[in-house]
Chains A and B, each alone.
Chain A
Amino acid sequence: MKRFLNVFTSVLALAAATASLPSAALADWLEDAAKPLKGTEISGIFLDRPGYRAIIKLLPEFEKKTGIKVNYEIVPYENTREKQVLNFTSQGGQTLALVDLVWIGEFAENGWIEPISNFSKDTKITDPNLKLDGFFPLLLDAFGSWGGTTYGLPFDNYSGLLFYNSCMLKDAGFTKPPATWDELMTVYAPKLTDASKKQYAYALQSLRGETQSADSFMRFLWPFGGSLLNKEFKSNLLSKESQTGLKFRQDLMKYMPPGIVSYDHAEAVNALAQGQVAMITEWSAFYGTLVDPATSKIGDCLAVAPEPAGPAGRLPALGGFSLAVASQATEEQKKASWLFIQWATSEDIAKPYVDAGGVSGRMSVYENPEVKAKYKFVEPMVASWKAGVPEFRPRFPSWPAISEVVAEWGSKMMLGEVTIDGGAKEIGTRMEDILAKGGYYDGKKKLLQ
C-alpha cells in the first residue's frame, strides 16, 4: 500500500509539474487563439539552411495544434530579397516576411511589414509568455527593430565565430586559439602555414557579392575601430582605423589559400573540414556542417571560440533573420502569421528547435546545461551576442546598392588591382553618391542605420 501511495504521489506530482510547464500553457493559448483561424493558409520564404530545416521538422506540430497551413518555398539566399520585394510590390500572396537584418530598414520604411504592436495588443492572439525581454537584446534590436519600433522576432540567428582545428594548433605548439587578430597573424599564422604542403593558417570567404562586402570587408573595420560611415553619414573608410583594418586584411592574405577571392561560405567551411586550413571565421550556423561526418573530416579536432578581438575590442560579425507579418496579408492571414511567428520563436520551442539544428534567439535555452554541453558553439556565440554592433552592416534601404560597390572594389583591393586607400576613396565617393540620391544629405531622411 505504501509503495502504491508513493507511486501515486509521484505520478500526481509529475502531472502537476507537467501541467505547469510552459509547453502545456503554450498549447492551450495557441489552440484557443487558432480556433477562429482554422483552415487559414499562410506562406513565406525559407532558406536551405539548418534553421529552416529545423522549423520544417517541427511544423507538423504547429499545423496539428492550430489547423493553420504553413506554405513555404525554399529559395537561395541571393534571390530571397528580389523575390520578396517583387512579391510585396505586386501585392502577391506572401503573408510572412523573412527579414535579413540588412533589409529591415527597407521593408519597414516601405510599409511592407507591420509593427508587432499591431498584434501584441490583442491578448486573444498573443502568447501570455511572449517575453520580448527573453530575446538577446542585440538580436531583437538588430534583426527585428527599425527606428525604435519592433517589426519582427529573431528567428535564424548567427554570430561570427572562430572555428579552428585544435589538433593542427596543438601540433604547432598552441593549446588555445588566438585571442586577438594581431596574435592570429603574427604568432599563429606563420607556424600554421606551409604553402608547399598546401596548408594555410586561415581562410576568409571573400567571393564577390554579400560574402565580400559583409563577411570579408566589414569584418576588418569594426574590431580595428573603423566603420563604413561617420556620424554625418559620410565615408569613414579613409580614417586611420578603417585603413588599418583593411591593410591588416591585405597582409593576412599571405596566410590564406590562393584564390581566396573565389571562396564562398561553402569553400571556406570545406577548407577547414578537409584540413586544408587551421582556422576560419564563419557563421555559427555552419557548426552542423562541420560536425557532420558526411561533410567534414575534422571530427573531434573541431573547436569553437569567439572571433579574435581587435584594438577596439571583440566586435564579431553579426547576421541573422527575423520573421515579420507582411502588410499585404488579409486580416486572418496576419493573425495566423503572428501566431506562427510567436510559436517559431518562443521559449517553449527553443530547445526542440536547437536540437533540430536551429539557433534560437532566446537566452533561456542556452542556460540549459545539456545544451551547453552538447553544442560547442553555444558559449562563444552567447559571449559574442552580449556585445556587438547592431549596425555591423548598415541596415538602411541603401545598403544593397552600397554592398554592390563594396563587393566590387573590396575584391579589387584584395587582388591588388587598386591600393587600399585608392579603393577606399572609390567606395567612399560612390557610396556618398548613393546616399545623396537616397536623401540622407538634404535632411529628407533621418540618419538611421
Chain B
Amino acid sequence: MADMTAKPNRGYRRWTPFWFLAPAVATLLLIGIYPTLFALITSFRRYNIARPREGFDFIGFDNYASVLTDSTFWASLGTTARFYVSVLPIQVMLGLAIALLLHKTGMGFLKALARVTLVVPLATTYAVVGLIGRLIFNRDFGVANQILNAIGVGGFDWLGSPRGAFTAIAIMDIWQWTPFCALIFLAGLSMVPGEIEEAARLETTSKWALLRYVQLPYLLPGLTALLILRSADVLKLFDMVFVMTRGGPGAATDLVSIYIQRVGFRIFDLGTASAQAILLLVLTILISRLYIRILYREVQ
C-alpha cells in the first residue's frame, strides 16, 4: 500500500503540467490556429498579392458572395462530392474485407507481412502516387491497358477522356486509402473481447450475424473517425490529381482543392481563396458533426 503520508515530489509544482503542455499548445497555435485565423481575416479583405496597388482593404462579405455565386466553384464542389461518393464505399467495403481476412486465426507470418504491406501505399507521397498513376494509365505503355489487352477487352483512353480520367484518379485514391480503412477496421476488430466472439461463434455459424451483432459495434467508432478523416482529406486532395490530370480533361477532375489552388496561387486572389477554404472548413465540420450524430456509438 502506498505511503499516504509521504511528501509530494519536490520537483513537482503547480505549473509543472503547464510547462509540459506548453510546447504542444504553442506549436498548435502556430501551425494550426494562426493560419486559420489569418485565412479568416483574409477572407474579408481584398487580398490579391499580384496586384498590390489595389490595396488590401476590408470588403465585408464580398469574397463570400463572389464564391457563392461562382458557378465554377459549385461545379468543382459537385465533382468533389461525386468523387467522394464513388471512392468511399469501395474503400470501406474493401478495407473491411481485408480486415476480416487478417482477423482470421492462423497464417501468422503472412498476416504480419500483409499488415506491413498495407502501410506502403499510405507512406507514399501524394505526388508520387500521381506520377505512378500517369504511368499506369498511359494509353500506349501503361500497365492498365496492357492488362485490358491481355484479357481481350482492348485498351482504353484513360487520361484523355473525362470518364477515364475520373476513374483513374478514383482508382489511385482507392489504392492509396483502402489500406488505411483496413488498418482502422483491424484495430476495431481486435477490440472485440475474445470470449464474446467465441461465445457468438458457438451460437451461430452465420458470419453476417457475427459481424452485424458482435463486431460492428466495435467498428463504429473507427468508421466514424474514418469518415471524418476521409471527408476532410477528399476536400483537400490536390497533389495526386494535379500531377495526373491538372483538373482536366475539360473540368472532369477539377476537384474543389484544385480550383482553390488555382484561385490562390495562379491568380493570387488570396481573399477569394481564403473565403473558399473557410467555407470548406465549415462544410467539413458540419459533415463531421453529422457522422458523429448518426454513426458514433460507445460500446456498452
Contacts and interface: CB of A to CB of B under 8 A. Distances in A.
Interface stretch (B13-21, B153-161, B179-187, B220-228): B153-161
Contact of A262 (B159, B247, B265, B268): B159
A336 to B, nearest CB: 26
Name B's interface SS: loop
B152 interface: no
Contact of A209 (B157, B159, B246): B246
A262 B161 CA distance: 8
Nearest to B244: A262
Interface in B96-117: none
Contact of B248 (A258, A400, A411): A411
A47 interface: no
A259 B50 contact: no
Contacts of A89: 49, 52
B49 A260 contact: no
Name A's interface SS: helix
Contacts of A414: 249
A417 B157 contact: no
A408 B52 contact: no
Interface string B23-67: 000000000000000000000000001111100000000000000
B246 A412 contact: no
Contact of A412 (B160, B250, B267): B250
Contact of A261 (B50, B53, B249): B249
A411 B262 contact: no
Interface in A88-117: 89, 106, 109-110
Contacts of A401: 266-267
Interface hub of A110, A261, A262, A276 (most chain B Cβ within 10 A): A262
Nearest to A418: B250
A262 B267 CA distance: 23
B160 A262 contact: yes
B236 interface: no
B51 A208 contact: no
B251 interface: yes
B50 A408 contact: no
Given A207-B248, A208-B248, A259-B157, A82 B266 contact: yes
A386 to B, nearest CB: 33
Contacts of A447: none
A106 B160 contact: no
A397 interface: yes
A415 interface: yes
A415 B157 contact: no
A432 to B, nearest CB: 16
B16 to A, nearest CB: 40
A371 interface: no
B246 to A, nearest CB: 5
B90 to A, nearest CB: 24
A407 B268 CA distance: 17
Contact of A207 (B49, B139, B246, B251): B246
A414 B165 CA distance: 15
B245 interface: yes
Contacts of B265: 82
A31 interface: no
A262 B246 CA distance: 10
Interface residues on B, range: 20 to 34
Contacts of B165: 262
Contacts of A106: 50
Contacts of B250: 208, 261, 408, 411-412, 415, 417
A379 interface: no
B52 A417 contact: no
Interface string A193-224: 00000100000000111001000000000000
A436 to B, nearest CB: 13
A352 B5 CA distance: 87
A415 B162 contact: yes
Interface string B242-263: 0001111111001000000010
B185 to A, nearest CB: 36
A404 interface: yes
Given A110-B50, A258-B160, A259-B160, A85 B268 contact: yes
A208 B245 contact: yes
Nearest to B264: A82
Interface string A413-425: 0110100000000
Nearest to B159: A262
Interface string A279-293: 000000000000000
B244 to A, nearest CB: 9
Contact of B249 (A85, A262, A400, A404): A262
Nearest to B247: A208
A29 B110 CA distance: 72
A198 B157 CA distance: 13
Given A404-B266, A415-B162, A259 B139 contact: yes
A255 to B, nearest CB: 15
Nearest to B54: A439
A288 B254 CA distance: 34
A276 B165 CA distance: 22
Interface string A69-87: 0000000000001100110
B140 interface: yes
A212 B247 CA distance: 12
Nearest to B52: A110
A262 B49 contact: no
Contacts of A408: 72, 247-248, 250-251, 254
B249 A208 contact: yes
A258 B140 CA distance: 10
Given A85-B268, A411-B248, A415-B249, A397 B50 contact: yes
A399 to B, nearest CB: 10
A2 B138 CA distance: 73
Contacts of B248: 207-209, 212, 261-262, 407-408, 411
B160 A260 contact: yes
A211 to B, nearest CB: 9
B266 A397 contact: no
Given A276-B140, A400-B267, A259 B159 contact: yes
A212 B246 CA distance: 11
List 10 tightest A-B contacts by C-beta distance, closest first.
Answer: A259-B160, A208-B248, A262-B159, A261-B249, A262-B160, A259-B157, A412-B250, A89-B49, A401-B267, A411-B250
Interface of A: 81-82, 85-86, 89, 106, 109-110, 198, 207-209, 212, 257-263, 276, 397, 400-401, 403-404, 407-408, 411-412, 414-415, 417
Given A81-B266, A208-B250, A411-B249, 7 more contacts: A198-B140, A208-B248, A208-B249, A259-B139, A262-B165, A400-B266, A401-B267
